[in-house]
């Protein structure tokens, strides 16, 4: 009996609470799904699902076993992904960067990593959220990553925090753009274009708390990267933060405000055994740090 496959049936039915929808999610028909779940129940010696006219309801035993079943299914998928990476990417360094890291630093990190691999090896880059990057490093899918701080880094090795310069961007026609001494309260009435909280809850919460401490309690609009931040700012309704140095950008003005407090805090995380890769990336960050 393929235990993982049948546990996947159980998890899908538990998530959908309906056999037809679970079968569709698994790209199969309902009869083999139902038969497979019954086979699993016989194998375990317990009932997992009550079958009703209106759908599927977890039994008491099903409720107790669902978290462990979900872990086994997730771990199996990660194992398959890792084996695929090993089989198809020998000689490749996989690294990731938070979307907040400016392009010049991303390319500098790639160049530094190339010095740590053989001449015929490659460097594969992923730009993602801090939450996803930490999960990928923890699972072995990524060798090293640059993430935002603060963040939950359990299960990975972490290097010291580094500050990268970051600017406040405001609409070019906003009163703060021309102010001799702009302050945070002047931004009242604008929304704050920032990454969704789910991308890294500790960092987003810390930033919002900082703004409130400075007298600004602004509503937020989702802006996952610098392009989205600049677009929302140019629209005249939002302000944001970017590590891109000041540039001639229509509709947007850069303001140097509270540089230490608003600095982008990043750090390198890596899997065990990837110290050389981490050293290379760490070196790039420290060259860009605030002095």
Task: Please report the pLDDT score of residue 189 as a whole number.
Answer: 95
* Domain 90-160+266-287, CATH among 3.40.50.720, 3.40.50.970, 3.30.2320.30, 3.40.190.10: 3.40.190.10
Tokens 């072995």 locate to 140
Mean pLDDT of 179-185: 94
- The pLDDT tens digits of the residues spanning 76-116 come to 888 777 665 554 455 789 999 999 999 999 999 999 999 98
Task: Please report the pLDDT score of residue 84 as a whole number.
Answer: 56
Mean pLDDT of 245-257: 96
Task: Please report the pLDDT score of residue 190 as a whole number.
Answer: 98
What class is the 3-86 domain?
mainly alpha
Tokens 């997730």 locate to 74
Count of CA atoms in the C-beta half-sphere (13 A) of 49: 30
Shared fold status for 3-86 and 166-262: no
Task: Please report the pLDDT score of residue 139 as a whole number.
Answer: 85
**What are the residue ranges spanned by the domains of the chain?**
3-86, 90-160+266-287, 166-262
Task: Please report the pLDDT score of residue 130 as a whole number.
Answer: 96
Q: Does domain 166-262 match CATH 3.40.190.10? A: yes
- The pLDDT tens digits of the residues spanning 9-64 come to 999 999 988 888 888 888 888 888 888 899 899 999 999 999 887 788 999 999 99
Beta carbons within 8 Å of 213's beta carbon, 6+ residues apart? none
Distance in angstroms (rounded) separating the CA atoms of residues 215 and 188 = 9
Geometric angle at alpha carbon 284, from 280 and 290, rounded to 5°: 145
pLDDT band at 146 (very low <50, low <70, confident <90, very high): very high
- The pLDDT tens digits of the residues spanning 196-236 come to 999 999 999 999 999 999 999 999 999 999 999 999 999 99
DSSP string across the chain: --HHHHHHHHHHHHHHSSHHHHHHHTTS-HHHHHHHHHHHHHHHTS--EEEETTEEEE-HHHHHHHHHHHHHHHHHHHHHHHHHHHHH-TTEEEEEEETTS-HHHHHHHHHHHHTTS-TT-EEEEEEE-HHHHHHHHHHTS-SEEEEESS---TTSEEPPPEEE--EEEEETTSGGGS-SS--GGGGTTSEEEE--GGG-HHHHHHHHHHHHHTT----EEE--SHHHHHHHHHTTSEEEEESSPP---TTEEEE--SHHHHPEEEEEEE-TT-HHHHHHHHHHHHHTS--
Task: Please report the pLDDT score of residue 83 as a whole number.
Answer: 64
Beta carbons within 8 Å of 132's beta carbon, 6+ residues apart? none
pLDDT > 90? residue 147? yes
- Of the candidates 81, 95, 85, which has an alpha carbon nearest to the alpha carbon of residue 144? 95
Distance in angstroms (rounded) separating the CA atoms of residues 237 and 65 = 49
- The pLDDT tens digits of the residues spanning 115-143 come to 988 777 889 999 999 999 999 998 888 99
Task: Please report the pLDDT score of residue 55 as a whole number.
Answer: 81
């Amino acid at each position: 009996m393929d235990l993982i496959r049948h546990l996947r049936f159980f998890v899908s039915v538990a998530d959908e609470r309906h056999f037809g929808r679970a079968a569709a999610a698994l790209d199969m028909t309902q009869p083999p799904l139902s038969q497979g779940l019954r086979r699993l129940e016989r194998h375990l010696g317990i009932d997992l699902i009550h079958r009703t006219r209106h759908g599927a309801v977890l039994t008491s035993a099903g409720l107790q076993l669902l978290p462990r079943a979900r872990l086994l299914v997730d771990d199996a998928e990660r194992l398959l992904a890792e084996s695929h990476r090993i089989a198809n990417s020998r000689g490749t360094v996989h690294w990731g960067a938070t979307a907040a890291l400016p392009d010049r630093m991303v390319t500098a990190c790639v160049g530094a990593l190339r010095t740590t691999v053989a001449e015929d090896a490659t460097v594969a880059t992923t730009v993602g959220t801090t939450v996803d990057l930490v999960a990928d490093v923890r699972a072995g899918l990524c060798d090293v990553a640059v993430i935002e701080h603060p963040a939950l880094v359990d299960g990975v090795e972490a290097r010291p925090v580094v500050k990268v310069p970051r600017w406040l961007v405001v609409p070019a026609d906003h009163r703060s753009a021309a102010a001799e001494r702009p302050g945070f309260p002047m931004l009242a009435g604008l929304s704050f274009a920032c990454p969704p909280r789910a991308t890294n809850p500790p960092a987003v919460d810390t930033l919002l708390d900082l703004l409130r401490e400075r007298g600004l309690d602004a509503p937020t609009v989702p802006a996952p990267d610098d392009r989205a931040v600049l677009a929302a700012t140019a629209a005249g309704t939002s302000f944001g933060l970017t590590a891109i140095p000041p540039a001639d950008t229509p509709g947007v003005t850069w303001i140097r405000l509270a540089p230490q407090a608003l600095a982008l805090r990043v750090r390198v995380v890596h899997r065990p055994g990837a110290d050389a890769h981490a050293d290379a990336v760490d070196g790039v960050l420290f060259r860009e740090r605030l002095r």
